[in-house]
Amino acid sequence: MEAIVYFFVFLFGSAIGSFLNVAAFRYNTGVFFRPRSFCFSCGKNLSWRENIPLLSFLRQRGRCRGCKSAISSQYFIVELATGILFLIVFLKEGLLIKTLFIWAIASIFMVIAIYDIRHKIIPDGFAGLLAVTALLYSIFYAPLGEHLLAAFLLSAPLAAIFLFSKGTWMGLGDGKLMFGIGLFLGISEGAAALLLSFWIGAAAGIILLFAGMPGARRIFGKLFKKKMTLKSEIPFGPFLITGAFCAYFFNLGFFDLLFGPSLF
Ligand SMILES: [Zn+2]
């Protein structure tokens, strides 16, 4: 019985994921409110059978049925990842109103991550939506004063990095994103999220550098289209979001990260 509930939560998440894909793709393109889904290459409207999360992509082997042009694997990856995220939140929280809030926050995280990876920018609209949702969450489920303080304290270092590097190390969007994360997680977990994001970012940077070396490019092939160098611009938003989600899920406080959870 439980397995059926989990399955439906996953399905629900992947359906939301398919909507998030559309939101991230269409944001700022002027076709946001076109009611039907359509192929970006030939403009063909998609039937319901071509619009089923995960399954349609697999059945059509990642190609449009009209013009046979390749559909971005982003659709499939985001639908799968959102389904998994929704299931993880459900396993941690159970069926509560609180779960809906965290699903909403996870969904906004997902859109921001997609958009930042594609465009290397975090739109104010998305960061603002996250802040408002996290504020509502904290009003109902957290000590609001502490979470507000966390938002200002934790976004300040990123804003400082933006100012001192004149925007070359980090965009101001990362600070705005961290503001929402601080509101959501509070001081201890928020600081853990920030620290984790630097660790994850450093690890990813090293891996990408190695993946860009001549020998490795033969193995990784098309995965990285451009050669990565020390100057390559890597969006930081996805690392902040990964750090935030880990801190949330594992209840990681800042001192847990520094000294290990067993001490507390
Ligand atoms: Zn097409």
The DSSP symbol for 4 reads H
> What is the Å distance from ligand 1's center to 63 Cα?
8
The amino acid at 102: I
User: In angstroms, what is the span from residue 13 Cα to ligand 1's centroid?
Assistant: 26
Question: Hey, CA dihedral for 96, 194, 75, 91, is it positive or negative?
Answer: negative
Residues in Cβ contact with 83 at an 8 Å cutoff, skipping those fewer than 6 apart = 10, 11, 12, 13, 14, 17, 53, 54
User: Could you tell me the distance, in angstroms and rounded to a whole number, from the CA of residue 109 to the centre of ligand 1?
Assistant: 29
pLDDT in tens, the chain (264 residues): 889 999 999 999 999 999 999 888 888 776 666 667 888 788 888 888 888 888 888 888 889 988 888 888 888 999 999 999 999 999 999 989 999 999 999 999 999 999 999 888 999 999 999 999 999 999 999 999 999 999 999 999 999 999 998 888 888 999 999 999 999 999 999 999 999 999 999 998 888 777 777 666 565 555 555 555 555 678 899 999 999 999 999 999 888 888 776 544
Domain positions in the chain: 1-95, 122-264
Instruction: Enter the tokens of residue 41.
Output: 């290459």
220 to 18, 29, 182: CA distances (angstroms) = 27, 32, 36
